[in-house]
A and B are shown apart, each in its own frame.
Chain A
Amino acid sequence: MKREKLTIAVSGLNNTDNPGPGVPVIRGLRESTHFEPRILGLAYENMEPGAYMEGVADKTYLIPYPSNGMEPLLARLEEIHRRDKIDVLIPNFDSELLPLIKAENRLTAMGIRTFLPTIGQYDERLKSNLPEFGKKYDLSVPGSHTVSSALEIPGICRELSGPWMIKGKFYDAVLAHNVEQAIAAFYRISAQWGLPVVVQQYISGTEVNVVAVGDGKGNTIGAVPMRKMFVTDKGKAWSGITIADKYLLDLTKRIISNTFWRGGMELEMIRSSDNKYYLVEINPRIPAWVYLAVAAGQNLPEAIVHLAMGMNPEPFTAFEAGKMFIRYSYDMIVDVNTHQSFAFNGEK
């Protein structure tokens, strides 16, 4: 069967110890049996490893951070699109998602397709809105408060029993065992990621996550749960294993059905020792461990491209439980000219 040629732009090439999902998304796209992708990597920094890795991006462009304003980012995407027609864009950074969701009509007018959550879906699952989300959809969530000043922390620590996770609005989470640690974490995280910061009750248990894709009509196109087996000091999974957890799968389907979720998502859950499940976070994008789902039988990045192209992919009905991933680090050797040329010209 002749595969359709598609040009797909993917960000999140920062394959560091806290990796973005770009490289595993691209690995999934390259394994598509339906289309032949030409991959345009979009990098915010000239040192993002994915830009230099063999067999990942066919071409990589530097793009400006959304924090520099939406117009420069859109202008850059428009310029890239003029030279290298983009069929589908898969953004993978939390901080670029909202601006790109807001710019969906402009992107569509340019001819660039995306398949992202709506603004309502994005806002509803924000860490700061998690208690209301839990109440609305009948989910157990840890107690939490949003804070904008360190002065609020002692009162919150009296109200919620500790320890607490102090979380940035996009990234980062620090475990605090007393008020002093909570305040120190507040200052560090707010300096890096801005305000507000979330103080969330820590739930002890096994970390289980689900990667899933919703079609925006309430249907789950695919879902694969994973138990973290080894985590880094940042709490990121360094290895994990797919699990056939029926409760998690049913819960995922219920959330997607109730919210009419559109696009990729990651549910971060804790399973306590008495087998209760707590939802601690919903990420509105594919996570960095998505290639495990691909290897287990669900090519979710491919499904997102199909959805973006207006096709109706068949929902996945199975995956292989007991598949593991183990991350590794690897020193690539790069010629300084390659790096300088990329930094200077903004493309490679």
Chain B
Amino acid sequence: MSIHIKSGLRISDQGLVFDPSTGESFTLNPTGLILLRLMIGCNDENEIFRILNQDYELSRLEFDRYLLDFLAVLKSMQILENEA
């Protein structure tokens, strides 16, 4: 799966995300913030899992489940451009 996050988002260190194209903003918890930043830097889910797995004890099954949930949230916020 290839993940593409909308470009131009403004993300604060506190987890406030602002989309300048729609004017919408929302907040992420610290885990969401780490994940979103990873997704912006890298659109390959396997690579994201590899990076996360270095710091967090996480099974691939758990990662896949939480990733799908998180992608659904990003989609509802209209900041996920597409997933292939």
By a beta-carbon cutoff of 8 Å, the part of chain A in contact with chain B is: 206, 208, 226-227, 229, 241-246, 271, 275, 321-322
Q: Which residues of B from 1 to 53 have beta carbons under 8 Å from A? A: 8, 10, 18, 20-24
* Bound CA span A242–B78, Å: 18
Least CB distance from B68 to A in Å reads: 22
Least CB distance from A293 to B in Å reads: 14
* Bound CA span A227–B21, Å: 10
* Bound CA span A39–B56, Å: 64
By a beta-carbon cutoff of 8 Å, the part of chain B in contact with chain A is: 8, 10, 18, 20-24, 78
A sample of 22 cross-chain residue pairs with beta-carbon separation below 8 angstroms, ordered by A number, consists of: A206-B22, A208-B23, A227-B23, A227-B24, A229-B23, A241-B23, A242-B23, A243-B21, A243-B22, A243-B23, A244-B8, A244-B20, A244-B21, A245-B21, A245-B22, A246-B21, A271-B22, A275-B78, A321-B20, A322-B18, A322-B20, A322-B23
Residues of B within 8 Å of A244, CB to CB, are: 8, 20-21
Least CB distance from B17 to A in Å reads: 12
Main secondary structure of the interface of B (DSSP, over half): loop
User: Taking each of B18, B20, B22, B23, which has the highest tally of chain A beta carbons within 10 Å of its own beta carbon?
Assistant: B23
* Bound CA span A31–B29, Å: 41
Inter-subunit contact A227/B22 (CB<8 Å): yes
Residues of B within 8 Å of A226, CB to CB, are: 23
Least CB distance from B36 to A in Å reads: 18
Least CB distance from A3 to B in Å reads: 33
CB closest residue in chain B, given A243: B23
Residues of A within 8 Å of B22, CB to CB, are: 206, 227, 243, 245, 271
Inter-subunit contact A322/B21 (CB<8 Å): no
* Bound CA span A226–B20, Å: 10
Least CB distance from B7 to A in Å reads: 11
Residues of B within 8 Å of A322, CB to CB, are: 10, 18, 20, 23
CB closest residue in chain B, given A320: B20
Least CB distance from A30 to B in Å reads: 27
Least CB distance from A289 to B in Å reads: 13
User: Taking each of A206, A226, A244, which has the highest tally of chain B beta carbons within 10 Å of its own beta carbon?
Assistant: A244
Residues of B within 8 Å of A246, CB to CB, are: 21
* Bound CA span A325–B21, Å: 17
Residues of B within 8 Å of A229, CB to CB, are: 23
CB closest residue in chain B, given A244: B20
CB closest residue in chain A, given B8: A244
Least CB distance from A112 to B in Å reads: 38
The 3 closest A-B pairs by CB, nearest first: A227-B23, A321-B20, A243-B23
CB closest residue in chain A, given B19: A243
